[in-house]
Structure 1
Amino acid sequence: MRRLRVGAAVAAAVLVVLALTGCTRGSGYGYGDRATQPEVSCDDVAASVVQRERTGDTAGEINDELQYLSDNCGDAYDIVAGYLSARATPAEFRLESCAEWDQRIRPEAIELLRQDQLCSDAAAPAGGATAAQPGSIPWDQAVNHTGSTQYVCGPLVNSGTDQDDVFLNLGRGYPDAGRFTIVLWDVGGIEPLSPGTTLCATGPVTLYEGVAEIELYDVGQVEVWE
C-alpha cells in the first residue's frame, strides 16, 4: 500500500528545491489520536502544501500539513513558510528581483517563486539596499534591544492597514515573525511607499507575539530615505 501523492509534475518541481534539506520522516497528520499512524515524507507534505497554495486550495488540510511540517520538518517548514509569506505579499509591494529576496527567505523558497514567475533574475534596483544611518541599528538587531529606545532603520518589504492603523514591515514581510514593524496608530493612512525604501523610526522597542516593533502616533516620526 502507498499513500496518495500529489501530481508528479508538481511534486518533481518541489522535490528539486527540497532535495538538500535532509527532511526526516515522522508520524502522519490529521488522524486524531489513532495509536498507529502511517509514516509520511517531509518532501511529500511540503509538495502538497505548495500544490494547494498554487491551486487556491487553502481552506482545508493545508493547516494540518503546515502544522506537521512545523513539528517534524524544520528545514522544509522554513522553506514553505518563506514561500507562502512571499506569495501573500500584495502585488504592489512584492519584490520583483529574486536577488532581493536573498536576505528574507531561503534559496529554495526563492526557486519556487521563480517557478511561479513571481520574481525574476533581473538586477535589483539600486534603492533596494538599506542605507546605514548614523546612530541607527539595523532592523534585524532591534529584537536584541527590547525595552530600550532605539533608532531603527530597514528596507520596507510590505505594509498593512487596520482601519486607521498602519503597519510597516521592515526586513521581512508579514507574517514572517522575524520582521521588524513600525506601528502607526490612528493615522488614517500614509503616502505610497515603494518596496525597498529605507525607513527609520525612533522609539521604545517592544515585542508583540515575538515580533519586534516601535509604536508611533505621528506619521512624521517615520524617516524615509530614498
Structure 2
Amino acid sequence: MPYTPRLGRAIMLGLFGPVLFLTACSNGGGTRAYEAPDCEDVLSSALQGVRVDDTTGATDSKFQWLSENCSHEYDVLVDYTSERASAQGSFGPSSCDDLSQYLEGESIELLRAEGLCAVGAAVAPPAVAPVEQPGGGIAWNEAVGHAGTEQRVCGPLVGDGYDNDDVFLNLGLDYPDPGRFQIVVWDVGGLEPIAYGSTLCTSGVITMYNGVAQIELEDPGLISIYE
C-alpha cells in the first residue's frame, strides 16, 4: 500500500539500502554476482528498525521485501510489531502463554526477551474504567487485538496523508508509528479538512498492514466526526 504522508515524507518501498541489491564486481576479468540477502538477516535488521522507531522508510521497505520473499520471517515481524504496540499501550503486556495460541513461537521469544509479554500467569491489567466511545465501539489502541473482526473504532485524528486519490487518516499516533490506527479511504480524491484532535469513528473489518491496524473504506460518508 503506497503511502505519502503530509509535509513531504514518503515511504520508499523496495529501496532500503545496499543490503537488498544484487551487485557484481570484476576480479581478474570475471564477474561474480553476490548472493541474494538472507531472510534472517533482513528480519534482524527490520526488527531493529521497529525497536528504534525508524522514520526513514527503510523498515517499511524490509516489511515489503519479506512479505514477497520470506513468508515465515514476515509473519514473525508482523506478530512482533503488533504485539509490541499492544504491550506498550494502556493495558500492558499479555501473558506469553496466552500469546502462544495465535503468535509464532519465534515472535513470542523475542517479546519475552524484551519483557513485552508476561512470563507465568496472566497479569491482570490495572483497574481502569473503560472509556466510552461516541456511538459505542472500541478505542483506536484496542483495534490491533481485534484484527479480522468487524468493529466500530474511534480515536483522535493526529495526522493524515495521501497517495494519488487515496487518503490515510491516522488515529491516536501519527505515521510512521506502527502503533497507530489508520482509516484508509480509497480513490476518494480528497477530503474536506478535518481538525486535528477531532474524534473520528468508523466501522468495518479490521485488517493489518505492515503491523498497523486499519479499516479500509470506499465511502468517506462512513466516517463520523466528533469535534
Is TM (by shorter chain) over 0.5?
no
Q: Which interval holds the TM-score relative to the shorter structure?
A: 0.3 to 0.5
**TM-score where L is the length of structure 1:** 0.45
Relative to its length, the structure with more helix (as a share) is 1
**TM-score where L is the length of structure 2:** 0.45
- 1 or 2 for the larger relative contact order (CA 8 Å, sep ≥6)? 2
